[in-house]
Structure 1
Amino acid sequence: MNFDLEGKRALVTGSSSGIGAGIAGTLAAEGVSVVVHGRNAERAVAVAERIRSEGGQAATAVGDLATEDGADGVAHAAVEAFGGIDILVNNAGGTSETGTQSWFALPVSEWGVTYQRNVLSAGYLIHALVPAMKENGWGRVIQIASAAGIIPTSGQPDYGPSKAAMINMSMGLSKALAGTGVTVNTVMPGMIMTDGLRDFLRIFAQRRGWGEDLDRAAEYVLKGTGQTVHRIGQVSDVAYAVAVLASPKAEFFNGMNLHIDGGATGSIY
């Protein structure tokens, strides 16, 4: 399918690895000039070089989006790279660096750190880049949330609620931009095979005496997810969804929260 994305310009935050890198590569393959972002310059450059080696157009913008100054610097570098940004993919995020997943062991002060990394970072870039999209009469804002945003767990007082906030803000922003030609949608991944998931499966397998049998660990974990598609999601599944929403052909898709979770989410919306 031709997504009609040739000549568009995108900033994909958190694209120096994982899901973000997959999104950047998929958009570039569709003719989008992509700005690869990360906090590690070496990794961001490696992703951009790989895109260029495959015939795509890519530049880099390095910085911490958790502060307004850092986000403004990234936005400025992205605009300078290709003369503007038409597609903003807010993929960067994460949790505080304590490694604690507990309602009572994780200090409440750390909840704000997670919220800042997921929600405020997206807000800073929306403020920096969306006004120009409005002026041009066309743009796409795509937020990468998580199934944790609508499926609360017992051990995430910070991460899940911050992703729920992203889903909520996307809907509100889509209404604020009504009639401007700029659409806002959320992609909500479930269990996706990233390096982080591989590490989890490896530890899971070792603790059960299965050695390095990640397939056995994945099979066991899948049974508890409620998925109706019986496989682990791939980065390409998320990247394809982003490409669809970024397309000019998707102008009637607005305010959506698209579940990319193999049918695991037990809710209608």
Structure 2
Amino acid sequence: MDLQLTGKHALVTGSSSGLGAAMARLLATEGAQVIVHGRSEKRATAVAEAIRADGGKADVALGDLTTDEGADAVAAAALAAGPVDILVNNAGAYKHLSWTDATPDTWRETYEGNVISGVRMIQRFVPAMRERGWGRVITIGGGLATQPLFQHPQYNATLAARHNLAVSLARELKGTGVTSNIVAPGAILVDAVKDLLIEIAPERGWGETWEQIELGATNELVPNDVDRLGRPEEIATAVAFLASPLAGYISGANIRVDGGTIRNVT
């Protein structure tokens, strides 16, 4: 399927590794000119060079989105390649903390990095999208936004805020040609996750082969209907579709890509 992304400019925040890098690669494969964002020049440049080596177009924008100055630097670098048509707010982080360990300062820092950073990008790019009459804003959320765990409460709450602001933005953009949607991944197999699961597998009795470990970890930690973890490319596919002109009738939606982990009908 041709997603009609040739000639579009896409900024994917937090795309110097992991999920974000997979999104940037697929958008470039579909013809978009991608801006790879990160705080590490080495890692961001490596992703951009890999995209170019595969025949895609990629530039780099460096900056810390938890500050206005960093957001300004990212916006300037991104716009140097042309108007941004697609904004993927992926950047964010979390720490495994309990309610006791997550101090008010931790909550504040998590909101700054996971929520306000995305607002900064929206405010810098969406007004021009509105003026041009076309644009896509895709926020990466997660199932913990609606079914939070007792762990890392500060992170759960920021996911809920990301979902909420994305739907509010969709209402704000009514009739403008700019859409705002959410992609909510489940547990995704990135390198750090695989390394962790292999490390803890012996004490959990999950087996020795990767196939056994993945099934054991899935059943014990994140039960779903597919009996495996998701792959970064599967999240990227949902993002690429929502970024395309083909998704023009989708706005304010939460697209769960989680193998059925979240078990409600809304």
User: TM-score scaled to structure 2, two decimals?
Assistant: 0.96
Aligned mates of 2:34, 2:202 — CA distance in 1? 39
> 1:32 is matched with which residue?
32
1:130 alignment partner in structure 2? 126
Task: Report Cα offsets for 1:215-235 as digits up to 9, x if no partner.
Answer: 322211211433111221100
Question: Paired residue for 1:107?
Answer: 103
Closer, same or farther: CA 100–261 of 1 in aligned 2, 3 Å: closer
User: Larger deviation: 26-35 or 221-230?
Assistant: 221-230
* Aligned positions of 1:63-74 closer than 5 A: 63-74=63-74
Aligned-partner SS, 1:142: strand
Three-state SS of the structure 2 residue aligned to 1:89 is: strand
Which residue does 1:90 correspond to in 2? Answer: 89
> Are 2:206 and 2:217, in contact at CA under 8 Å, matched by a contact in 1?
no
- Residues 27-61 of structure 1, C-alpha deviation per residue, up to 9 Å, x if partnerless? 00010000000110000000000000000000000
Structure 1 residue 212 displacement after superposition: 6.2
Q: How many angstroms does 1:150 deviate by?
A: 1.5
Q: Deviations over 1:144-200 (max 9, x none)?
A: 112221221111111011011000100000000100000000000001111221132
Q: CA deviation at 1:10?
A: 0.4
Q: How many equivalent pairs are there? A: 265
Aligned twin of 2:229: 232
Aligned-partner Cα distance in 2 for 1:203–1:61: 35
Unmatched segments (≥5 aa) in structure 1: none
Please state whether the residue corresponding to 2:255 is helix, strand or coil.
Answer: strand
Return the letter of the residue paired with 1:257: N
Instruction: Report the equivalent of 1:188.
Output: 184
Q: CA deviation at 1:202?
A: 2.0
Query: Distance between the aligned counterparts of 1:63 and 1:182, measured in 2?
Result: 25
Partner of 2:156: 160
CA shift, 1:136, in A, is 0.5
Correspondence for 2:251:
254
Q: CA shift at 1:213, angstroms?
A: 4.1
Whole-angstrom CA distance in 1 between matches of 2:7 and 2:253: 25
Instruction: Classify 1:83/1:228 alpha carbon distance in 2 versus 1 (closer, same or farther; 3 Å).
Output: same
Considering only aligned residues, what root-mean-square deviation do their CA atoms show, in Å? 1.4
**Structure 1 counterpart of 2:52:** 52
Distance 2:238 2:36 in 1: 18
What amino acid maps onto 2:68 in structure 1? E
Question: CA distance change for structure 1 residues 263 and 100 in 2, over 3 Å: closer, same or farther?
Answer: closer
Cα distance between partner residues in 1 of 2:183 and 2:28 = 19
Matched, 1:23 2:23: yes
Amino acid at match of 2:180: V
Q: Tell whether the 8 Å contact from 2:145 to 2:159 is kept in structure 1 after alignment.
A: yes
Q: Aligned residues: percent identity?
A: 46
1:209: how far off? Answer: 6.3
Native 8 Å contact 1:39 1:64 kept in 2: yes
- Deviation of 1:236 after TM superposition, in Å, equals 0.7
TM-score between the two structures when normalised by the length of structure 1 = 0.95
| Contact in 1 for aligned 2:63/2:71 (Cα 8 Å) | yes
SS at match of 2:77: helix
Question: Aligned partners of 1:259, 1:110: CA distance in 2, in Å?
Answer: 27
Q: Identify the residue that residue 199 of structure 1 maps to in structure 2.
A: 195
CA distance in 1, matches of 2:96, 2:253: 31
SS at match of 1:88: strand
Q: Which residue of 2 aligns with 1:116?
A: 112
Question: Which sections of structure 2, spanning at least 5 residues, go unmatched?
Answer: none
The separation in 2 between residues aligned to 1:212 and 1:159, in whole angstroms, is 32
Secondary structure of the structure 2 residue equivalent to 1:101: coil
Amino acid at match of 1:186: I
